[in-house]
Homo-oligomer: A and B are copies of this chain.
Amino acid sequence: MKITKVRHASAPLASRMSNAIINFAAMTTNVVAVETDMVRNGEPVIGYGFSSNGRYAQPGLLASRFLPRLDEADPASLLDETGENFSPQAIWAALMSNEKPGGHGERSYCIGALDMAVWDIHAKIAEQPLWKILSERYNNGAYDDKVLVYPGGGYYNPGKDIETLRGEMRGYREQGYKICKMKVGAVPLGEDMARIEAAIDELGSGENLAIDVNGGFSLEQAVEFGKAIEPLGLAWYEEPGDPLDYHLNAELIQTYPHAIATGENLFSHQDMNNLLRFGGMRSETDWLQPDPSLCYGLTENLVMLDEAARLGWSRRRFLPHGGHQIGLNMAAGLQLGGTETYPGVFQPYGGFADDTPVVDGYVTLPADQPGIGLELKPKLMDEICKQLEMA
C-alpha cells in the first residue's frame, strides 16, 4: 500500500481585481494529484488538492524538497495504526523532516495542497465523506447538517462603481446568502463609507455586512475607520492591520466594541497562539480565520484548534478562509462557526458542489460522496486534470 505518483502544477488563478494591498493579475496556485495503489469501486484512489488564493504556487519547492522526502520514506511508515489507510499525520511529519522551526510561509502553502490530497485519499479509502471522518475522530460523532457560509466579494475592479457593487451584493442575496463581505481600505474613507452604505442598503442591515482591509491600515487608520463604522454594527471588521501586528490589533480592540476577524495570514499554530495570547482577541466576540490549505493543511489546523481550545477558544469562533470544500467539511464535521466561499471569484476553485443550495445563509452537505467532494464540482475537476495533464 503506497503512494505511486504525485503530479503537481502551478495553475493560473488570475483576475483583474484588487484589494487594499495587492492585485491578482499574476496569481497562481499549487494543484496536486496524489496517486495510490489502492482501489475503490474498481478505480485507483487518487487524492486532489490545491493551495488557496492570494498567494502563489511553489512548484520548485514541491519538486526539489517535499516530494523527494515522500519518495524516500518507507511506505509502511506512512500508514495509520490500522495499516489499512494512510496517516495524514505521518505523511505530514515526513514532508516536514529536516525543516527548521519558524519561517511559516510558502512551504506551508505547498504542504497545504499535498495535505488536502492526502485527506481526500484517506476519506476515499475509508469510503466516507471527510466531514464524517472528522466528526467521528475529532468531535465525538457530532456534526452540523448545515453550515453558515459567506461570500468573500466586493473587490475593487477597474471601472467598478457603486452600482456594480450594489448589483453584486443583490446577486449574493438572490443566491441565498445572508452575510456578505466586501473589501475596503484602498480608497479614501468617505468613498469607502459610501460603498459600505450602499452594500448595507442591499443587504438589509449592517449585521449582514463584513468588511475586509487585508491588513492595509496603520493603527491610527484602523482606529479612525473603526470609529466611522461603529454605528453601523457590522458583522465584523476583518484584518484591519498587518496580520502579525498583535499590538495594533489589541490596541484597536480597546476602541472598537464590535467583532474583529483575523488570522487568514497566520500559517502555523504558533502564530495563531500568539494572536490569541497577545492580540487582544475576545473569545465571545471575535472571529479566527486560518486558511486550511495555506497553513500546512487540515493536519496543522487540527493542532491549531486544540491549542486554541487550551487557550479558552471554542471551535465556533473559527471561520476558515479560502472558500474550499475542505473548509466546508471542517466546518460541518468539527462544528466550526462557518466558512467563507467565493461564488463570484477564483473560479473554478471557489465555492462548493454545483448542486449545493444556499438557504438563508447556510449550505447543507452532500452526504454520500467519499473524500472531500471535489468530484461534485466537475468544472474544478476538469481544470485540475487539465493542469496536471491527466486523462
Cβ 8 A contact of A107, one of B105, B267, B270? B105
Q: 1/0 per position for A53-65, CB-CB distance to B under 8 A? A: 0111111110111
Mostly, the A contact residues are loop
A215 and B102 contacting across the interface, CB-CB below 8 Å: yes
Whether A152 is near chain B, meaning CB under 8 Å from some CB there, is no
Of all chain B residues, which has the CB nearest A54? Answer: B100
What are the residues of chain B within 8 A of A108 when measuring CB–CB?
A: 103, 105
What are the residues of chain B within 8 A of A265 when measuring CB–CB?
A: 100-103
Q: Give A301 Cβ to nearest chain B Cβ, in Å.
A: 16
Whether A73 is near chain B, meaning CB under 8 Å from some CB there, is no
B101 and A21 contacting across the interface, CB-CB below 8 Å: yes
Cβ 8 A contact of A100, one of B28, B57, B215? B215
Which stretch of A172-180, A218-226, A238-246, A354-362 is in the interface? A238-246
Whether A339 is near chain B, meaning CB under 8 Å from some CB there, is no
Whether A255 is near chain B, meaning CB under 8 Å from some CB there, is no
Which stretch of A81-89, A193-201, A273-281 is in the interface? A273-281
Number of chain copies forming the complex: 2
Bound together, the chains give a CA A102 to CA B264 distance in angstroms of 9
What are the residues of chain B within 8 A of A22 when measuring CB–CB?
A: 97-100
What are the residues of chain B within 8 A of A100 when measuring CB–CB?
A: 21-22, 54-55, 214-215, 265
Whether A329 is near chain B, meaning CB under 8 Å from some CB there, is no
Size of the A side of the interface (Cβ < 8 Å), in residues, is: 49
A274 and B244 contacting across the interface, CB-CB below 8 Å: yes
Whether A187 is near chain B, meaning CB under 8 Å from some CB there, is no
Most buried by B among A28, A102, A294: A102
Whether A271 is near chain B, meaning CB under 8 Å from some CB there, is yes
Cβ 8 A contact of A61, one of B58, B215, B270, B294? B58
Most buried by B among A10, A23, A26, A57: A26
Which A9-29 residues sit within 8 Å CB-CB of chain B? 10, 21-23, 25-26, 28
What are the residues of chain B within 8 A of A23 when measuring CB–CB?
A: 98
Whether A332 is near chain B, meaning CB under 8 Å from some CB there, is no
22 contacts between A and B (CB under 8 A): A10-B64, A21-B101, A25-B98, A28-B64, A55-B103, A58-B60, A59-B64, A60-B60, A60-B64, A61-B61, A101-B244, A102-B267, A103-B104, A103-B105, A103-B265, A103-B294, A104-B104, A104-B105, A242-B270, A244-B271, A245-B270, A247-B277
